[in-house]
Amino acid sequence: MPLEVKIPAMGESILSGVIAKWYVKDGDIVKKDQPLFELETDKITSEGTAESAGKISLKVAAGTEVKIGQVVATIDAAATAAAPAAAAATPAEAAKSASPTPAKIENRESKFENSPAVRRLAAETEVDPASVAGTGKAGRVTKGDMLAAAAGEGTRSEAKGDSSTTPSPPAPSPIASSPSPGAGTAERQTRRKLSPLRQKIAQRLVAAQHEAAMLTTFNEVDLSAVMALRAKYQDDFVKKHGVKLGFMSFFVKAVVHALKEVPAVNVQLDGDTLIENHYFDIGVAVSTDRGLMVPVVKDCDTLGMADIEKLIAAAAAKARDGKITLADLEGGVFTITNGGTFGSLLSTPIINPPQSAILGMHAINERPIALNGQVVIRPMMFVALSYDHRVVDGKQAVTFLVKVKQALEDPARLVIGI
């Protein structure tokens, strides 16, 4: 009897999702624990794997909304034994089957499991990740590596000039390519439904703006001291902990320091009840191909800088690889988002409900400032604190941001607690 492939349960609050992509085709022979599909929900993206080897029959198409527990495919284990004989029917067919196909390309040489983005590109471009030199951590193949490899394949194909291929016609002029009335929409636009995750992000952002009395206060931070510490101790830090000392651990520690100094910011509103938090689980926003996610680093007040850097890196990797879990996203009391990674100079971040505040980091630029009566050039960053004015007063918000600024400009404060 064929084994049913069902959508697994992923938490009480998740009832359905969308099959974003199948990694296999109908009729393929799959291996046990082989990834079969990518499931997008309104909170996380996960993969479904084969519980046994056999021939798979797909029951739903990619892009279909499915419910938890729904059967989306079946696997016939009895068909596994017949597969090798069929694959080797003729030398030509055997040679053809030996080349990687879009649905089953795997990085056979890598000790890492390829991310969903890499597998997607492998299926679309027919570039084998095993043949790509990875530039990611410890040699991991990244999305950028695959795009570069695909571009290289295209260039080499053009350079070969295969005589058996009919030359492509010259590109039409802009005037000639203009669509005729009634036929333009399909050529000039692409329409696709929002993923459940993107829909949830949109709903939460709109709700945050409509339901909270949101206000933003700004300041600027001289990061000379932080940059000097990183430059002085970076090599020793990496040797001892195996991870780089980044800026985010300083900001996390500064936020924890400020939350302790101004506990009125570490609150959330539940109806007409004010909840005061006495723990320090900090969310760090991560940009992924599917949208923004906020993994939470637990108990940051008890962690060292190295622990924070490692946990942030691990959470970011899980988010980008589609392996984040609900437990990784729950429980945060405050969020930090870094638009400076993409060059943002100034922005007003939107709070992450039910939290009452969020800190926005921005690009570091050298700017002239007045210091002790002199004009000097310093690496400066604008920081923004958006907060819910229903529960956080302006004085408390401004004091909080000043505490963050003081801790970053004089990191010794983080050690002695002032």
Pairing type for strands 334-338 and 357-361 reads: parallel
291: alpha, beta or left? (left if phi > 0; alpha if psi -120 to 50): left
Please give the Cα distance from 292 to 336 (Å, whole number). 12
Say whether 393 is catalytic.
yes
Q: What stretches of 147-278 adopt beta strand conformation (E)?
A: 214-222, 267-270, 273-276
* Strand partners of residue 35: 49
What φ, ψ does residue 343 adopt, rounded to 5°?
100, 5
Please give the Cα distance from 204 to 234 (Å, whole number). 39
Pairing type for strands 45-49 and 35-40 reads: antiparallel
| DSSP state, residue 264 | G
Please give the Cα distance from 68 to 17 (Å, whole number). 8
Q: How far apart are the first and last CA of the chain?
A: 68
């002029």: which residue's tokens? 173
User: Which of 76, 281, 307, 389 does the annotation list as catalytic?
Assistant: 389
Amino acid identity at 418 = I
Say whether 362 is catalytic.
no
Q: What radius of gyration, in Å, describes the C-alpha atoms of the chain?
A: 26
User: Which of 236, 289, 299, 393 does the annotation list as catalytic?
Assistant: 393
Taking the CA atoms of 169, 170, 171 and 175 in sequence, report the sign of the dihedral they define: negative
**What is the per-residue burial (b if ≥16 Cβ within 10 Å, else e) of 32-53?**
eebbbbbbbbbbbbbbbbbeeb
Q: Could you give the residue numbers annotated as active site?
A: 389, 393
